[in-house]
Amino acid sequence: MEAADTRQEILIQASRLFKTLGYRATTTREIAKAVNIKQPSLFHHFPSKKAIVEEIFSLSLNEAAIQIDKACRQEGSASERLHQYLVWDLSTLHRMPIAMSAIYTGDALKSPELADLADKLKSFYRSLEDLIAQGIRSGEFVDIDPTLGRLMVASITIAHLEYAEQKPIGEPDRLAREGADFVLRAFRRA
């Protein structure tokens, strides 16, 4: 296996183990076994289990944080900006072979050693809440607590992640549009 392929397989197998066993209970020995490599080879690619989680997290959140910040700063309808962001995000997540839901719903972000990642996620959430608040102030969205709105968006995102993890996705762009449309129907004023 090429080094890049091995690295990718480590991320895939680790994410699956994090989903089934949890971050804390998963060992680097188990990850190496799932990839069919020896533990020292695993450490050649990633110095620690924390580094694996950081890589998985960065694959899903780094660009998403840039995109949501851009959506917050752009001119125009908050509804259109949120919709465009969600289509991009859901489509991107549907194309990832990594079990991302475990990172967001499991025990990883509750670990003190990953507090910096939890802080990055909180910053991302603040930006999403800001975009929702912009839609409320402009009269496009129903009057909802932006934190509740953010939780609703996060729930849809997690549902898409879990759906993608259960079966191969043939039309990620269509599914992303359907998810974004669903969210916007909940937020828009009738």
Mean pLDDT split into 10-residue runs, the chain, 190 residues: 84 94 95 96 96 92 95 96 97 87 85 92 96 97 97 93 81 92 93
Residue 67, in any domain of the structure: yes
Domain that holds residue 177: 57-187
What whole-number distance in Å separates Cα of residue 146 and Cα of residue 131?
Answer: 9
**Helix boundaries (H) for 97-145:** 101-105, 115-137
pLDDT tens-digit series, residues 57-88: 998 899 999 999 999 999 999 999 999 999 99
Residue 111, in any domain of the structure: yes
pLDDT tens-digit series, residues 158-178: 998 888 888 777 888 999 999
Q: Is 116 exposed, middle or buried (0-12, 13-18, 19+ CB in 10 A)?
A: exposed
**CATH number for position 115:** 1.10.357.10
Asked if residues 154 and 65 have their Cβ atoms less than 8 Å apart, the reply is no
What does pTM read for this prediction?
0.90
What total number of domains does the chain contain?
Answer: 1
